[in-house]
Structure 1
Amino acid sequence: MPAKTYAFVGTLNRAMPDFPPAHGDGIATFRFDEDSGRMTLASTYAGIDNPSFLAVDASGRHLYASTEWAGRNEGVVTAFDIDPETGALDYINLRPTLGSVACHVSLDHTGAFLFVSNFTIAPEGSRPGKAVAAYRVREDGGISPPIAGVAHEGAEAILPVSVRSHAHLAVPSPDNRHLLVADLGLDRVMVYCLPPVEGQLKLAASPFAELPAGSGPRHLLFNGKGDIVYLINELGSTMATFAYDAETGGLSLLQILSTLPEEFSGTNYCAELVLSPDGRFLYGTNRGHDSIVRFAVQADGTLGLPDWTPTGGHWPRNLTFDPSGKFLLVANQHGDNIVIFRQQALTGALFQTDEIHHGTPMRIVFARL
């Protein structure tokens, strides 16, 4: 039987102070045609608030969603079964995230552990205030109670709302030895040892990498070899390249490049980055300039000069490749649309092929079943 490919789209369906009115309906399931790049709405799971970030496990049978609430001291993360015949979501359970404004969820490479990042903008001193929470994944795909959590604090915090950190992502290294946490508030990437031991996430031998003041590190990823890390900085509108030391977890800065054209003088906030499946091109989103920046990856892992493609909408929060690697999808949060581009494999250039109107899209993930 031919494989079925589903695209899941998380949206904002509850208004937040920092965002315009929310036009989403929850989590939408689309059938995705890997030949044409066409998306067809199959179903919607509406019984969840602000599923702003999603992750699918390696089997493609379970989906996890973080709920991004404002004005509450703790968020939640929810687990779902994915019906392989229809792509419909079936609720399993949810857990508290030990911190406020849960903005990212990920799994380790064994599928045994799940991690949630919290932006922690609750009032200083409010409990529980964790930047990252760790969970075990049950055999049925459900989520255990939290087994570990860490808080980041420091006077280096650059956002005026608090002196706490603002964790925006936690992802395991490809060797599954370390957990890297991009902390936008402290201008650092924190590094912890995996797996969690005795209910703790312990700092690695090289516990953090520091960015220039005001960078605002947001999201990062590893190259295919697992020896290079790319990091997009939200506030500085830059892309940083690091060498990764698997023994210590150390990150050595190799370069920082702007994600914007020299002539651009407006306000911009970077959001997401993704490597092409062949590892030859790195793409990132500019919110404000409303573009996809493209870098060619050099033989040593560093990046060449950038080029730009308009996103076909406003405020591109997320982008991802489909499982075939032929199409790049961009979720334009404020434009209420998803734009599909075909990638030209030789040059990495992007050509728009389709557009789907969908309320406040925040995150797109795929499952091929």
Structure 2
Amino acid sequence: MELVSVVIPAFNAQRFLGRTLASALAQTYKNIEVLVIDDGSTDDTRSIIEEFAASDERVSSIRTQNRGVALARNLGIQNARGSYIAFLDADDLWHPTKIERQVEAIDVHRSDASWAGVYTFHRTIDESDQFTGNGQTVRGCSGYILARNFVLKFIGNGSNLLVRRDAALAVGGFDPSYAAEGIGGCEDLDFELRLAARYRIEAVRLFLVGYRVYKGNMSSDGSRMARSMSETIARHAKLNHSIPLRAKRWAVANAHRYAFQVLLRERKIIPALAAYGMLTLSDPVASILTAAEVLAAFRKRLTKARSVASSQAFMSMDPRAGADNPVEAIVRTKLSRLAKDDLVLEQQAHSVAFTKGARDRPETNCVS
């Protein structure tokens, strides 16, 4: 049974760290080490780590000056003893079977070094661990997924991926330059894209991550996240010259769509309208659908419509529920085209030995 190193970057994480650590230690896959990188915390983060470490020898920590999440994760990668690394943000939760299912999925490809990692689906949760929504709009794709993840970004967050340690090192770990430029937030997407450009990635099509969204966490700063998303897409559009212009246009459009949504939520109307204008230029169809979504949400608020569903705790939910939800027609169309792009990109990026049989695989590797 391979050792899995769980790397948790933590900065002033006292509010949720206890729950996060408990979910990591409750994994049905027991051969883990939990390495918490205390990134210069000034609150009670340190004492929480020490309390868990005193009761479970699998927990250890490294304390550093505050240098940002990318460098904290890199320090975890460098000090990890496991052949697999699973990243977990200090405010998120894992379903108890997450690591077990991911190891099972990646072990199928143990003899093939072209497979580097495996991701799952996620649900969004609030401050009380209650379910607020499903994070995926696609069913999950596996294999060489560079173009598909570049456009649709379905891996989704920094608590999702389990990756071979040697692959994480081979792609250079996480890039600290985003934080240095004041646009930190999408370092996980940047890492995923560099991984996807070089390796194949597997999917476990179950909702096994609780991704916390609340006022005050990194992802709640919409303006900075929008800038980070746009910069990440721009950098990888330049790095990956072979990605078709159509896919690059779709990726840019999705970045503008995200910026429009978060800026509108923050009531920054003029920047939001500017982002919507760029979305319209990049992808007119997506702009129409986005406008329809905004209007529908506005009508719901006017009528004070509320969901009749009772509140559910993330941990009590069946991880299979919602995995078979229908995929939007426009997303389905894009997936089909992007899957063909990925077959071409894979053949261009790797040797004949790596891509042998690629043409014989199903066109999309996606559950539809």
Q: TM-score range by the shorter chain?
A: under 0.3
With a CA cutoff of 8 Å and minimum separation of 6, indicate the structure with the bigger relative contact order.
2
Please state which structure has a larger fraction of its residues in helix. Answer: 2
Please state which structure has a larger fraction of its residues in strand. Answer: 1
Determine which structure has more spread, i.e. the larger CA radius of gyration.
2
TM-score (norm 1): 0.28
